[in-house]
Amino acid sequence: MTTNGTEAARPTLTLGPLLFNWTPERWRDFHYRIADEAPVERVCVGEVVCSKRLPFYQDDIPAVIERLQRGGKTVILSSLALPTLVRERNMIKDLAAMPDVLVEANDVSAFPQLAGRPHAISPLINVYNEGTLAFMEKQGAVHVCLPPELPMTAMAPLAARATTATIEAWAFGRAPLAISARCYHARVHGLAKDSCQFICNQDPDGLAVDTLEGRRFLSVNGVQTLSDAFVNLVGDLDALLARGIRAFRLSPHTCDMVAVAQVFRDVLDGSITGAEGEARIAALMPNATFANGFLHGKPGHQRVALAG
């Protein structure tokens, strides 16, 4: 894992962990294509949302890691968010015991296991100020993805303060807002969490939640709450680069993520403008709603147009 100083020559892209419940075959083939075709430097692999999903594809993880590494990607292993069971806490211990791999913490309960060794911090952990960042770096954090609700004005001081960690912005995908012990997907289908029948697999990009007035509001993914709108900062990349942010995270969805990554890469490399990038992403996802409000200190569902 490189640090701010060595990455400054070229901005980098990270593909975050898949948050949704896809079939094992789809999960595997998606990552194989990412390995072979996507212009990203890092890929996060592992179950973040619900440990019950992991057995369906865990046998494919070694082959996926090998394929990604063969494709020149740095693999980051993602830990579970909100572990509540002994077996879930043991999953984090098992990850931490693996030598020569970078583990990303999605819950502060992983800190004792990862302290003293290089590790990553996910956007699910609140890094809002320089003091928190300094503590993370002291513990061994070398990569910190900031929460998607953080405005650009707060990102810049963190990027300036970082000494050993690469600072990353959440740049694409439905924003993770909360995680709960209760499974919303099971409840809406009249099922209990322990007998959910993995009903979340019916919504590979999340289940839309409307207000009582029928307005699109949020999206749910099992125990997770996400934004309805897709965060899309491709038009804001120049502004983020100017403020010292050199790494950007794309969260997987059912759209063509290789094409999405290529658009971000083209903007970062200066091949196309941010406005052209926005137009290309919109063409890839004609039915999606995009937002960048959090970045500009506005309500998260809003979209702030490019200046000029």
How confident is the model over 35-59, as pLDDT tens digits?
999 999 999 999 999 999 999 999 9
Instruction: Record the tokens describing residue 71, joined without a space.
Output: 């494709």
Q: Do 80 and 51 touch, CB atoms closer than 8 A?
A: yes
Q: Phi and psi at residue 278, in whole multiples of 5°?
A: -60, -40
Work out the pLDDT band at 100, boundaries 50, 70, 90: confident
Residue 210 pairs in a beta bridge with 216
User: What residue type is assigned to position 203 of the chain?
Assistant: D
**Closest residue by Cα to residue 221 from 47, 64, 33, 92:** 47
Catalogue all structural domains in the chain, each as residue range(s) with its CATH number.
11-175+230-292 (3.20.20.70)
How confident is the model over 107-155, as pLDDT tens digits?
999 999 999 999 999 999 999 999 999 999 999 999 999 999 999 999 9
Residue-level pLDDT at 5 = 41
The residue-averaged pLDDT of 240-256 equals: 97
Residue-wise DSSP of 88-115: HHHHHHHHHTSTT-EEEESSGGGHHHHT
Residue 179 pairs in a beta bridge with 224
**Closest residue by Cα to residue 161 from 243, 106, 268, 248:** 243
Work out the pLDDT band at 308, boundaries 50, 70, 90: low
pLDDT exceeds cutoff 70 at 8: no
How many Cβ atoms from other residues are within 10 Å of residue 72's Cβ? 9
Q: Estimate to the nearest angstrom the gap between the alpha carbon of 84 and the chain centroid.
A: 22
Q: How far apart are the first and last CA of the chain?
A: 38
Q: Do 285 and 230 touch, CB atoms closer than 8 A?
A: yes
